[in-house]
Structures are given as structure tokens and as C-alpha cells.
Amino acid sequence: MMIEEIRKELTDGILPFWKSIKDDENGGFYGLVDFNLNVDKKAEKGTILNSRILWFFSNAYLTLGNEEDLAYAKQAYEYLVNHCIDKEFGGVYWSTNYDGTICDGSKHTYCQAFAIYGLSSYYDASKDEEALKHAFELYEIIESKCTDDRGYLEAFERNFVPASNEKLSENGVMAEKTMNTLLHVFEAYTELYRVSGNKNVKDKMLRILKIFRDDVFNEEKQRLEVFFDKDMNTLIDLHSYGHDIESAWLIDRGLDVLGDECDFADEIKEITAKLEKSVYEKAYTGKSLVTECERGVQTKTSIWWVQNEAVIGYINGYQKDNTKKAYKEAAKNIWAFIRDYVIDKRPNSDWFWEVDENGKPNPDTPIVDPWKCPYHSGRMCFEIIRRNVDA
């Protein structure tokens, strides 16, 4: 059954690999493993990667109950606190050098959000009040430095002077606001609210849901717009299937955490259902999920994180409405595709970044880098185990 295969992949594959790149000399975890499984011990260490590793091991402990996983979470936590948090200007840096010194001192809202996400889960796992304190300090940074009257800003210099958004702009546009950052601020706040019950965090979650409803969801095209100018005007004809299916279940998750606190929840649930349906009809191939469609042209390769989010998204859709058996079948088929083609079968490896239409991996992509992490794959495992799929 799928749940048994996924649990085995978590315990025998993903967890051992990420434990193997712990940096015992300089702290944290190594920042780069190339396609040929060479570890670069002097590569920069991305704060997003470290925050996601912190989140991953914290949730491994919360899901499986192994004390060893909490110790690995502490390794990531101590690196974040000692090296990634800017003691002078606040917030977390984009990256450090291998030895913990500043590499890229710029600040990005997306990066702050993932640090909150990791710290909130670590607090849940460890009950360390300092972790929650750091999470709220970063929350205050986002709300005081990274917002305007239309939503969330993106990129800043170290001292929070606004800067251009190269790091999260793609597809030939330079975006002043992005759906991706908005989604992951919401995700971070969901976790922070879940562990704290803080009313102010709840209010910001509601604000973000209204932005999704009013500015990001395109009713005509049944999709979320991706890149925006400062006034939330869309910049490109792009349908990001991976982000839409991820958004659908993460927004549903936020509604679950909010409980009865969202008086427009039915409107939001209609949107997430429309996203599930649109992506299923346009991007599901019968075995995997297409990544995106730009100006009417779909991508050909299959990217690891998109497949992970599709598995969760369609299990979530089925569990909301068990008449939608096609969604459950899609999740099972996409998992089979991951199992057969995306997971690297070489000893002591993790997952490939992307594979082509024939399931052949791209040798120009790394196994670990500032973006390639255990967050999506690990989260798929945790969600399937927690949801008790196939039980």
C-alpha cells in the first residue's frame, strides 16, 4: 500500500540521507551535494535550506517519535540562531558561508517566513520557549518591514532598504510581489498560530486569505496569478500548476487551524476546490503532474517538489469529498511515478531534482543546494502518514 511504501522511503531513504550531511565541524548541514554525490563542505549554506531542515527534523520527531530526529533538529536550530539571525538589523540573512560568517546578507520576506515555519515546528517538538520567541521576532520583522497596504513586499538590503527581487522572479519578469511569497508567509503564520494561538497572527492570516481571494485568484482562468507589480497587477500569462495544487491544500490547512475564526471560509473553500479541479484537468498526465504552462506552452520535465505537492493535494481533495475517487487514484499514480523515477536508487542519495518525459534525470541539477531540500518530500511523507491514507 502507498502509506507503507512512503513510510519506508521516509525512514530508510530520506532521513538517513539528510542525517549524513550534518556538518559536525562548522555546525548546521552542508549546503551542496552535486549530481555525482560529491559533498562540497565549503559551499554556502542557504538559510531557507537550513530552516527547511529544521522544520523537517522537527516534524520527523513529531510524526515518528524518535529522539534522534529531535537532536538533528537542534543542530539546525542552533545554526539558525547562532549564524543566520542578524543581531544588528534583525531578520535572517539569505545565506552564510560554510563557516557561519555572512555570505549574502540581504533579507527576503520568503526567507523570514521559512525561518518562522521551522522555529514554530521546533518549538512544538522541543517546547523550547526561546524558539517561539525568535519566531515572533521574525513575525514582527515581516509585519513592520515587509508589508504595504496591498500585501507583502519581497526583497531588501541587509538594513531593510527595498531592493530588486531577482531571487524570486523568474520567466523573464521582475516581480515586486509574488504569489509564492504570499503563500509561504501564510504557511508560516499557520504554523505559528497553531502553536501559539496568537490573535494578531490569526488576523494576518485572515488578511492574506482576502488577498488570495481578491487579488491572486483569477476566476476566469481558474488559477492563481504568480507575479505582480506593486499594485497586484499580474505581469505574465503563467499557470503554475505545482503552486496551485500546493496552495489548495495549504490554504485548506490554514482554514482547519483557524477553525471558526474565518467568516468567509466557504468562499475560500470554493477557490481551493476550483484549483484542484483545474490542475487535475489541465496538468495531470495520468502518471505525473506538469509543472507549469507559460503563454500556452506546457513544460515537459517533472520536478520533484511538484509531484510531492500533487500527492498531498489530491489526497486532501479526496478526503474532503470521497466521491472524488479520481483524485485518490491520481495521488497513487503520482506516488508510483516518484517511486520509480524521481527517487535516486544510488546508495546514499536522495531524490533527483527533475526527470524528463522518459524518466531520465537531469545530470546538471544537484541533489542538495540552497533550494533542494527535504521539505517537500518529507512533508509528503508526514502528511500521508498523519492522514492515515489507505487505512
Query: At 220, which CATH number?
Result: 1.50.10.10
Most distant CA pair in the chain, distance: 55
Q: Is 0.95 surpassed by the pTM of this model? A: yes
Strands (E), 28-143: 45-46, 95-96, 102-104, 107-108
Asked whether residue 257 is domain-assigned, the answer is yes
Asked if pLDDT for residue 148 goes beyond 70, the answer is yes
305 — pLDDT class (breaks 50, 70, 90) = very high
Asked whether residue 3 is domain-assigned, the answer is no
3-state SS class at 155: strand
What whole-number distance in Å separates Cα of residue 363 and Cα of residue 371? Answer: 16
Asked whether residue 383 is domain-assigned, the answer is yes
Asked if pLDDT for residue 365 goes beyond 50, the answer is yes
Dig out the grid coordinates for 115 from the structure.
525561518
Asked if pLDDT for residue 170 goes beyond 90, the answer is no
Q: Is 177 exposed, middle or buried (0-12, 13-18, 19+ CB in 10 A)?
A: buried
- When divided into structural domains, the chain yields a total of 1
Averaged pLDDT for residues 256-268: 98
Distances (CA, A) of 313 to 119, 171, 216, 330: 24, 25, 19, 10
Dig out the grid coordinates for 87 from the structure.
543581531
pLDDT of residue 263: 97
- Locus of grid cell 529522539: 67
pLDDT of residue 324: 96
pLDDT of residue 58: 98
Whole domain around residue 94: which residue ranges? 8-387
Asked if pLDDT for residue 368 goes beyond 90, the answer is yes
Averaged pLDDT for residues 42-59: 98
Concatenate the DSSP letters of all residues of 301-339 into one string: SEEHHHHHHHHHHHHHHHHH-TT-HHHHHHHHHHHHHII
90 — pLDDT class (breaks 50, 70, 90) = very high
Asked whether residue 97 is domain-assigned, the answer is yes
pLDDT of residue 391: 47
pLDDT digits (tens, 9 = 90+) for 99-141: 999 999 999 999 999 999 999 999 999 999 999 999 999 999 9
Average pLDDT, the chain: 97
Contact 150, 177 (CB under 8 A): yes
223: which strand partners? Answer: 218
Dig out the grid coordinates for 290 from the structure.
506538469
Concatenate the DSSP letters of all residues of 91-129 into one string: SB-SEE-TTSSEEE--EEHHHHHHHHHHHHHHHHHH--H
Tell me phi and psi for residue 344, to 5 degrees. -75, 120
Asked if pLDDT for residue 169 goes beyond 90, the answer is no
pLDDT of residue 389: 76
Asked if pLDDT for residue 64 goes beyond 70, the answer is yes
Asked whether residue 216 is domain-assigned, the answer is yes
